[in-house]
A and B are shown apart, each in its own frame.
Chain A
Amino acid sequence: MKSFFGFLFGLACALMIIFFAGENPLHILEILVRSSFGSKYDFGLTLFYMTSLIFTGLSVSTAFKSGLFNIGAEGQLNFSAISMVVFATTYPGVTFPGSLLLILLVGILAGAIWGAIPGLLKAYRGSHEVIVTMMLNFVSAGISSYFISHQLQNPDSQNPESAVIADAFRTNSFDFLNKLLPESPVNVFFIVAILTAITMYFFFTKSALGFEMIAVGENPAAAERASISSKKFVVLSLVLSGVLASGAGMNEVIGYSGQYKIGFSPEFGFMGIAVALMSNNHPIGIVANAFIMSVFHKGASDLDIETETITKDFSKIIQAMVLFGVGLQYYLNKYGVNIGWLNKRKKFNQSGSV
């Protein structure tokens, strides 16, 4: 809630720009809203984007909590997705429900491995996690491209994509959420994402492990003095970060398409950074912000169809302006610049999370 005014401010600024482009800002707002809620399909697609953004947002924020900047969520979700597809095509005979359990395990493990690499390098060799995670994004893209082009290419299609995995590995046969919004890609992982966000909230506020993780993030030296091994928590937090990012891969592979398509993620991993920053790393805020970002992302393509001068790129401008607005608000809050009653609230929030 703290950043709500920043959000409104950013949105207002963005809408002002529309005014200069010769369109009615309210009309644009209406298109964005209609595009996201207009029909069952539209709403389902918005929620589908939102699911992935919750996972990547949580992933990035978990690393932030222990003072790490994970820009590798993209690579982690990619690696997890390709691992699941490779597993499902290698062992097509596994039967339900063990198959679903195993593929989830593979996905989680793959995410964990892709998080553990930068974690271990950071903890024991001092390599900067930004560089390592960024490079690993390309490594995982390379691995998936190798598997898709040379091993798993779908024989029925010229697209760079794998064949569809067996139904036993997918959730669509019992997916009640998808039945509510037929034709749309939304699936049961939406609920998983919400539950994960709530779990992360309790993890950081109520559990000793979560507390120690934050302690390492706020002051590693002090944490060491309090006999918390900062090395252990650097690794742990990046592993957890990788596991959370893998949820976005599951959303696509297990929940929706059942195949790995090159380019299935419109950089969810990077959008997750914006989601995490906007919500101040608060898990529940991440859910809200993931929703806002997915509305903008979904609305982007319809701007092209509906208006003459505003194109899909404009939604990026809105996203950026909103991010600036929230950043500004954060700055004002933190450094106590006086804007009326906002400051009074700050006193109660002094002990809140960063």
Chain B
Amino acid sequence: MFIKKLMMVLLIASMGQTAEKLKIGLVLDKGGKEDKSFNSAAYQGASLAEKDLGIELKYVEATDVNSIENLHRQFAKKKFDLVIGIGFAQQDAVKKVAAQNPNTKFVIVDGEVTAANVRSLMFEEHQGSFVVGYLAAMKSKTKKVGYIGGMDIPLIRRFAVGYEAGVKHFDKSFTVLENYIGITADSWNNPAKAKELALNQFQQGADIIFVAAGASNSGVFDAAEEKKKLAIGVDSNQNWMKPGFILTSMLKRVDQGVYATIKDLKDGKFTSGIVRYGLKDKGIDYAMDKHNEKLVSGEDIKKLEKIKIEIIEGKIKVPDFYLMKKK
């Protein structure tokens, strides 16, 4: 295994000698690069790499489930060096196309594919959700907090389960209200419905809502501003969207992962296998900046950092929906 890896590294290194620009293809999920959240993060990472590393970037958005495989094929056919698939929906397509194009490198975010030319980037969302859940519980006055997910699917459940565990870790008597926006792909882009749900949760007594729903998030932020309550953003740092009403954002540094992978390829250090990002390497984190510094005091941060360390050291076991499901 080690020799194989070494050979591949050498091979790529020798290929990197040529002065030609690396061609990177980015296949975004249906949310599109303007979702200010998950896909935005991926796009930012890739475009930063374009600026810094002098690569050639081409991005596309999938129109439907069947078109994803088509897009990966087109990139491979055009001899792109690296094709990045964003989102769990692309797992099967990457698996299939990577097997047929052994000379093209692939990256899949949020999905696991084992092949010699595929790197899988996985994020430990449940850990971050636990931390923001703990923060929400600390800040809640009503002992009731809310969670709004885009769609009732395993990934979004993973956020919910981690979040709830974080809240309960602070105090078992807390209640967590849980709602999902919809049942179709529209759910990721339906701020109106998100706002409705948020207002409803506020009315039921929740005073902080964690939302994981792509471009629908803005609806929850609107509701928080209207009712003078708090919301927690997700994936990208969304604190700036409604300063003063967004307690923090749970960061899922897809941008970091994408950037690092492109850099690895450029430096000839691309390896296949699964790369996990978690609290440990700040691939998962919570966002602190000038927009929310008044909401979260230094003392709170100290407590959160302690929780983080306990999770990293394994003293706190955060329930993982993916593993729960396998039982």
Contact = CB atoms under 8 A, between A and B. Distances in A.
B154 interface: yes
Interface in A272-296: none
Interface stretch (B66-74, B255-263, B264-272): B66-74
Given A159-B91, A302-B74, A149 B153 contact: yes
A149 B152 contact: yes
A144 B75 CA distance: 33
Interface stretch (A167-175, A189-197, A256-264): A256-264
A163 to B, nearest CB: 13
Nearest to A304: B60
Interface in B151-170: 151-155
Most chain B Cβ neighbours within 10 Å, of A42, A138, A159, A264 = A159
A158 B154 contact: yes
Contacts, number: 91
Contacts of B154: 153, 158-160
Nearest to B62: A301
B65 interface: yes
B60 to A, nearest CB: 4
A305 interface: yes
A158 B88 contact: yes
Nearest to B59: A304
A265 B184 CA distance: 11
B89 interface: yes
Interface string B271-303: 000000000000000000000000000000000
Interface residues of B, number: 36
A328 B71 CA distance: 35
Nearest to A137: B184
B155 A312 contact: no
A261 B151 CA distance: 14
12 contacts: A153-B154, A155-B325, A155-B326, A159-B91, A159-B154, A266-B64, A266-B65, A297-B63, A298-B70, A301-B62, A302-B74, A312-B61
Interface of B: 25, 30, 58-67, 70-71, 73-75, 78, 88-89, 91-92, 100, 110-111, 151-155, 183-185, 322, 325-326
Given A263-B185, A301-B71, 11 more contacts: A141-B183, A149-B152, A155-B325, A159-B89, A262-B185, A265-B64, A266-B66, A300-B67, A301-B62, A301-B70, A305-B71
